[in-house]
Amino acid sequence: MGLFDGKVAVVTGAGRGIGREEALLLGAEGASVVVNDLGGAPTGEGEDQRPARQVVDEITAGGGTAVANHDDVSTWDGAAALVAQAVNDLGGLDVVINNAGILRDRMSFNMDEADWDAVIAVHVKGHFAVSRFAAAHWRALAKETGQPVRAAIVNTASESGLYGNAAQVNYAAAKAGIAAMTLVMARELERIGVRVNAIAPVARTRLTEDVAGDHMKAAEGELDRFHPANVAAVAGWLASDLAAGISGQVVKVQGGQVQLLEGWRPLTEATSDKPWTVDSVEAVRDQLLAKADGSVPPFFFGPPPADRPAYPAPAGNG
């Protein structure tokens, strides 16, 4: 018996990297999987149907069920067609894992409009559009049956969006938006039985290999901590019934470490019984900055293994 026996799943960006491992895990655990991948370059250009088809072949070779999908999830029509394929060809939809993403890193003063628009479209619109059409399907089903649907969405955020990484203003804005979207949709869809969570992965993929270099490679005989299968395990857990009752959460997975993350929360507070002025704000400066000095914090990437030097900040994974 598999964790996803009888269920239908959609995984976007599933031709390579983390998405590939997520699709393989779902297929091995009994899900019928729609493997979506446009097959473009890491920066989003081009198309290639082979990666998605290869993942389908791997799943079916193992006795599972899978179909390929090459729709562009950053378009409304593409996202609608993807959800429709799951429902019409595989008989339903239970799990959506939004993973598709690209990188076009630039410092903010060098970024052009195309770089901004492309990254925002693939990540933010791509996550939302697929989730929107899946949610509409589930809402209609819940109304028809009068029962919650017991479905799950797993989004892909990033430390870059949660902590901020230089040269990734487009990507960081997109990933922060995805984290916020996760919270909103978790609230909206709870009543019809849909859980919505996000992962913030750190793994060895096409999008990180040029940045992290050898730091993410395992030595011979060593646990391969940055293999994308480690991320797939967390995404699979969140998508499964084992995580029933868990929604609106962001879970970071890095190597052998899993963390539950929280977003903006009050850190300090200063109050006044009179209208604020510039001078009165300055007067409570010490209270306001009691737990920080007001300078830009370092990008957080977590501690490196004890036997290795600190590695550079990662590019995005999804």
Which tens digits make up the pLDDT trace of 194-208?
A: 999 999 999 987 776
Q: Which residues are catalytic?
A: 158, 171, 175
Dig out the tokens for 89 from the structure: 């060809």
pLDDT for 256-269, tens place per residue? 899 999 999 999 99
Encoded tokens for 63: 């006795």
Confirm whether 286 is domain-assigned: no
DSSP secondary structure letter of residue 198: E
- 34 within a domain of the structure (yes/no): yes
Q: Provide mean pLDDT across the span 285-300.
A: 88
Structure tokens at 213: 């270099």
CATH number of the domain that 74 lies in? Answer: 3.40.50.720
Is the predicted pLDDT of residue 10 greater than 70, yes or no? yes
In this structure, is residue 47 part of a structural domain? yes
Using DSSP bridges, classify how beta strands 8-11 and 250-254 pair: parallel, antiparallel or unpaired: unpaired
What's the pLDDT at 261?
Answer: 96
Residue 268 lies in a domain: no
Does 272 reside within a domain? no
* 304 within domain boundaries: no
Nearest-angstrom CA–CA distance, 60 and 68: 11
Tens of pLDDT, residue by residue over 126-178, are 999 999 999 999 999 999 999 999 999 999 999 999 999 999 999 999 999 99
pLDDT at position 241 is: 98
H or E segment and range at residue 79: helix 76-90
Number of neighbouring beta carbons within 10 Å of residue 143: 10
pLDDT in tens, 227-243: 999 999 999 999 999 99
pLDDT digits (tens, 9 = 90+) for 74-113: 999 999 999 999 999 999 999 999 999 999 999 999 999 9
Residue range of the domain that includes 137: 8-261
Calculate the average pLDDT of the chain: 91
Q: Which residue has the tokens 């999908």?
A: 69
Rounded average pLDDT over 57-71: 98
Residue 59 has pLDDT above 60, yes or no: yes
Predicted pLDDT of residue 249: 98
Q: Are 225 and 37 in contact (CB under 8 A)?
A: no
Domain tally, the chain: 1
Which strands sit side by side in the sheet containing 250-254, from one edge to the other? 65-69, 32-36, 8-11, 95-97, 151-156, 194-202, 250-254, 257-261
Q: 303 pLDDT band (50/70/90 cuts)? A: very low
SS3 156: strand
> What's the confidence (pLDDT) of residue 34?
99
In whole angstroms, give the CA distance from residue 12 to residue 23. 9
User: Does a structural domain hold residue 296?
Assistant: no
Helix (H) or strand (E) segment spanning residue 251: strand 250-254
pLDDT of residue 33: 99
| Cα–Cα distance measured from residue 47 to residue 207, given in angstroms and rounded to the nearest whole number | 17
Residue 307 lies in a domain: no
